[in-house]
């Protein structure tokens, strides 16, 4: 059950990560015309970068907790 929840959360994080990565070029390029913006959306750029960093840190934290739980279970079996 926990593995299914982990996989489902990973899918959500990948979708969010995809949207954040699409936001970076949109900050500099006008989607309607394809030309560079005179004034880029710097806030959108930095928000996307911050979101990407947050997703990476959160997924690393989840993986670490999952490894710790697996190690605890493995040690408990051998005692």
Task: Give the span between the Cα atoms of 15 and 21, in whole angstroms.
Answer: 10
- How distant, in Å, are the alpha carbons of 31, 71, 72, 79 from that of 76? 56, 8, 6, 5
For the entire predicted model, the pTM comes to 0.76
* Tens-place pLDDT, residues 19-68: 999 999 999 999 888 899 999 999 999 999 999 999 999 988 988 898 89
């Amino acid at each position: 059950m926990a593995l299914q929840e982990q996989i489902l959360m990973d899918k959500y994080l990948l979708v969010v990560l995809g949207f954040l990565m699409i936001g970076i070029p949109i900050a500099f390029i006008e989607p309607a015309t394809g030309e560079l913006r005179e004034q880029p959306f710097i806030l959108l750029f930095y928000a996307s970068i911050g979101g990407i960093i947050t997703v990476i840190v959160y997924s690393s934290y989840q993986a670490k907790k999952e490894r710790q739980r697996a190690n605890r279970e493995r040690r408990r079996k051998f005692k």
